[in-house]
Amino acid sequence: MDVDVVVASWEASNKKDELARAVLTISILLLSIFYYLWTFLKSRNRISAPLPPGPRDLPIVGYLPFSAQTCTNNLPN
């Protein structure tokens, strides 16, 4: 009688494991498909050339030191 209880609980545990394996397998499959599609579409959008670099700047001051020279030259005009 005790053996039947152990066998029944073992079979129930295996059914839970089968469900967990199925969910894990489907999740991995879906994630890999979404990742492949995302990288494929991302690489397809890079048809145009990258933009050229912008003007140089300093993190705190910004473009002010470089524009001060051009402002003083253009003020008399």
Calculate mean pLDDT across residues 6-35: 80
Q: How confident is the model at residue 69 (pLDDT cuts 50, 70, 90)?
A: low
Q: Is the pTM of this model over 0.85?
A: no
Q: How does DSSP assign 15-64, residue by residue?
A: HHHHHHHHHHHHHHHHHHHHHHHHHHHHHHTTTSPPPPP----BTTTBTH
Instruction: Kindly report the average pLDDT of the chain as a whole number.
Output: 72
Output the pLDDT for position 57.
Answer: 60
Stretch 43-67: mean pLDDT:
67
Instruction: Quote the CA–CA distance of 43 and 70 in Å, as a whole number.
Output: 41
